[in-house]
Amino acid sequence: MARKQGSHAGITGPKVQDAALRLFAQHGYAAVSMRQIAAEVGVQAGALYNYTADKQSLLFDLLRGNMTELIDALDAAALTGTPLARLDAFTRFHIRFHLPRRDTVFLSYMELRNLTDENFAQIAELRRAYEDRLEDILHDGVASGDFTVPDCRVATLGLIALLTGITNWYRPGGRLTAAEIEANYCTLVCQSVGARLA
Amino acid sequence: MARKQGSHAGITGPKVQDAALRLFAQHGYAAVSMRQIAAEVGVQAGALYNYTADKQSLLFDLLRGNMTELIDALDAAALTGTPLARLDAFTRFHIRFHLPRRDTVFLSYMELRNLTDENFAQIAELRRAYEDRLEDILHDGVASGDFTVPDCRVATLGLIALLTGITNWYRPGGRLTAAEIEANYCTLVCQSVGARLA
DNA sequence: GTCTATAGGTAGATAGAC
DNA sequence: GTCTATCTACCTATAGAC
């Protein structure tokens, strides 16, 4: 079946998202022009507006997509067992989700400033929902006497910062494999909440 | 002694730095124009170039000043005692230094991308020097049997991310005082390296 | 759906008067 | 040291041809 001349729907769209993600992560949202994104995709700047209302939507859609994907994947993992087992599983989940998505993670933590107030509020709500999953694990561990944590909210924010920081220095092919890094961080995390290691 | 008309050397200079810091931290380096900085200072854009060679130097000087100040302050603190005592002191030092400088810290971690290659290399070297101070403490603790850490380098990067993350959510007048936060993080940090708490 | 062209505005940086 | 004025370049977004 013949396709309309010049029609690339379903191809150009994702390429625009990919190019925007890569360029925003590398240079920062404000430093990247629509012309640069268009050049990366291989079209002229005006053509981008067939796929996004404006530059802001491009950023917002990337961040929202990342957060909903993250939360859906965590809920699908359905962590069960003792608080320590769930904490260990959360740690491994977080690392496995984030390591292959370093560009997106970087964006999600660095470019919140460049969202409009309304868009920021939506992303913040999603982040809070994710954090709450971890905080629940910590609360349960404290209640059961498995964990020693002075303040679960502080520990939650601290642990997420600890884990997400990996994306700032991890490089594929570096000194440690992803599995080694994962094991290292599991030890750090479980020890940090005062859990006895198995 | 009469001052030259319109001369404000020693006043405008620091004001330019302050305004650049505040605006860069709030909106991001790339999103802030020299005209905005000038307006914040209360001069016209052209006058800024009496105090900085260009916009890049403005950013670089802020970051370099922060890093050298940080390292000098740490060395002046001259942490001594057992590895656990030194780790506790490092944690408190890091938090006390960073909490009142949230704008600068934010810049130092977010705007490295916007440095030229040469300027980036200089800042990276200073950061490495700071990290090494913590890594030495961890090495000593492992050697003495006080700490259980699988990989000191990983733990160093992790702990710095953990501690620096405070600046992302701390607000003066929030639920916890700075002293409470400090105590919370000391517990987390010391437990994370497998140290027995005093 | 993509192109060219362009509107309307702002950017960093400089020149020369005072 | 600061001002006004300006240069050159780039920006986002839109209009209309194909």
Tell me the CATH number at B162: 1.10.357.10
Q: Are residues B138 and B44 in the same domain?
A: no
Strand D proximal to A27 Cβ, under 7 A: no
**Which residue among A52, A72, A89 closes a domain?**
A52
Q: Are residues A158 and A98 in the same domain?
A: yes
Strand C proximal to B45 Cβ, under 7 A: yes
Domain assignment present for residue B81? The answer is: yes
Contact A189, A87 (CB under 8 A): yes
Q: Are residues A105 and A184 in the same domain?
A: yes
Whether B1 shows a pLDDT value over 80: the answer reads no
Nucleotides of C under 7 A from a protein CB: 1-5, 10-16
Domain containing B27 — which CATH number? 1.10.10.60
Whether A9 shows a pLDDT value over 80: the answer reads no
**Which residue among A30, A52, A74 closes a domain?**
A52
> Residue B147 CA to chain centroid, in angstroms?
27
Whether B3 shows a pLDDT value over 50: the answer reads no
Rounded (10°) CA dihedral A114, A115, A121, A124? -60
Contact B127, B71 (CB under 8 A): no
Domain assignment present for residue B11? The answer is: yes
Element (H, E) at A145: none
Give B5→chain A minimum CA distance, Å. Answer: 39
Q: Which of A168, A183, A188 sits opposite B192 (nearest CB)?
A: A188
Q: Are residues A148 and A65 in the same domain?
A: yes
**Would you state the pLDDT for residue A109?**
86
Domain assignment present for residue A85? The answer is: yes
Q: Are residues B47 and B135 in the same domain?
A: no
User: Which chain A residue has its CA at the smallest distance from B27's CA?
Assistant: A113
- Using CA atoms, how far apart are residues B142 and B152, in angstroms rounded to an integer? 8
Q: Are residues B47 and B66 in the same domain?
A: no
Nearest partner of A120 among A128, A131, A112, judged by Cα: A112
Q: How many residues comprise chain B?
A: 198
**Which residue among A52, A69, A86 closes a domain?**
A52
Q: Are residues B78 and B117 in the same domain?
A: yes
Whether B62 shows a pLDDT value over 50: the answer reads yes
Whether A98 shows a pLDDT value over 90: the answer reads yes
Contacts with B171 from chain A: Cβ below 8 Å: none
Whether A34 shows a pLDDT value over 70: the answer reads yes
**Would you state the pLDDT for residue A176?**
97
**Would you state the pLDDT for residue A97?**
98
Whether A5 shows a pLDDT value over 80: the answer reads no
Q: Are residues A29 and A45 in the same domain?
A: yes
Interface test with B, best of A123, A131, A170, A191 (most B CBs within 10 A): A191
**Would you state the pLDDT for residue A6?**
45
Strand C proximal to B57 Cβ, under 7 A: no
Verify whether the Cβ–Cβ distance A162 to B159 is below 8 Å.
Answer: yes
- Using CA atoms, how far apart are residues B160 and A165, in angstroms rounded to an integer? 9
Domain assignment present for residue B198? The answer is: no
**B174 Cβ partners below 8 Å, 6+ apart?**
none
Strand C proximal to A3 Cβ, under 7 A: no
Region B174-194 average pLDDT: 98
- Using CA atoms, how far apart are residues A193 and B32, in angstroms rounded to an integer? 41
Contact A66, A59 (CB under 8 A): no
- Using CA atoms, how far apart are residues B145 and B147, in angstroms rounded to an integer? 6
Q: Which residues of A touch B (CB under 8 A)?
A: 26-31, 110, 113-114, 148-151, 154-155, 157-162, 164-166, 168-169, 176, 180-181, 183-185, 187-189, 191-194
Give A43→chain B minimum CA distance, Å. Answer: 25
pLDDT by residue (tens digit) across A108-157?
988 999 999 999 999 999 999 999 999 999 999 999 999 999 999 999 99
Q: Report the domain count for chain A.
A: 2
Q: Are residues B46 and B127 in the same domain?
A: no
Q: Which of B26, B158, B187 sits opposite A185 (nearest CB)?
A: B158
Interface test with A, best of B153, B160, B162, B182 (most A CBs within 10 A): B162
pLDDT by residue (tens digit) across A168-180?
999 999 999 999 9
Give B159→chain A minimum CA distance, Å. Answer: 7
Q: Which of residues 27-66 of B touch strand D (CB under 7 A)?
A: 38, 42-47, 50-51
Q: Are residues B96 and B183 in the same domain?
A: yes
In the complex, which nucleotide's C1' lies nearest to the CA atom of residue A51? C1
Domain assignment present for residue A138? The answer is: yes
Interface test with B, best of A187, A189, A193, A196 (most B CBs within 10 A): A187
Strand C proximal to A47 Cβ, under 7 A: yes
**Would you state the pLDDT for residue A1?**
36
Whether B9 shows a pLDDT value over 60: the answer reads no
Domain assignment present for residue B197? The answer is: no
- Give the range of the structural domain holding residue A117, as residue numbers without chain letter: 53-192
Domain assignment present for residue A198? The answer is: no
Percent of chain A with pLDDT over 70: 94
Nucleotides of D under 7 A from a protein CB: 1-5, 10-16
Nearest partner of A153 among B176, B48, B38, B88, judged by Cα: B176
Q: Are residues A32 and A84 in the same domain?
A: no
Contacts with B180 from chain A: Cβ below 8 Å: 151
pLDDT by residue (tens digit) across A54-81?
999 999 999 999 999 999 999 999 999 9
Q: Are residues A74 and A134 in the same domain?
A: yes
Tokens of B157: 């990067």
Q: What is chain A's mean pLDDT, rounded?
A: 93
Domain assignment present for residue A197? The answer is: no
Percent of chain B with pLDDT over 90: 91
**Would you state the pLDDT for residue A11?**
87
